[in-house]
Copies of this chain bind each other. A is one copy, B any other.
Amino acid sequence: MDMNLITFLKSITTILPETEAEIHKVFFAEQLPKGHKLHEEGKVCNQLFYIESGLSRTFYFNEEGKDITYRFNGENTFTSLIESYYDHKPSFYTIELLEDAVVHAAPFPEFEKLLEKHPELMKVYNHVLRNFVLQSNERIVALQFHNAQERYQMFVDKNPHLLQRASLGHIASYLGITQETLSRIRSK
């Protein structure tokens, strides 16, 4: 079930009515088509995105020019390239939409001002960062000591809904294997 931004925030912390109004001033909601790029490679990312509905994919091109999925973000999650924002460095990642989506975008500086003004929102930000950490943890454990088949199984268990929504090639590179290998794993 897709939740709009405020509903989602309220599931994490208490939001006062006046804060709510300010959140609306900082986040800009838009309906965007499949294929749209939320962020383009080579630019500094200074926005924080909330995906209300739809699916995004973050990827980069490796040395051989192959497109490698870094992560997927479905509905009710935040995405961004915070390392780019914090270090003022262009990111080599692109964030694209794999489906039509409703996305709320906030410029980071304004989001930070909002945090300072409404410390209760800090809880939200910690939630976001924490989820980034937890997601990464799982990812590392998978990549570090599980073979291709196990990684695929873990992916299926964790993200059953993504199977139909993302292509084999996108999933394969996410798992750190080739498309052919994934295809062979699947044919069992």
Contact = CB atoms under 8 A, between A and B. Distances in A.
A170 to B, nearest CB: 13
Task: Say how many copies of this protein the assembly contains.
Answer: 2
A108 interface: no
Interface string A158-187: 000000000000000110100000000000
B139 A140 contact: yes
B130 A86 contact: yes
Nearest to A122: B122
Contacts of A82: 130, 133
Given A70-B140, A83-B133, A143-B176, 16 more contacts: A62-B145, A70-B141, A83-B134, A119-B122, A125-B126, A126-B129, A129-B129, A132-B133, A132-B136, A133-B133, A133-B136, A136-B137, A136-B140, A140-B143, A143-B144, A144-B174
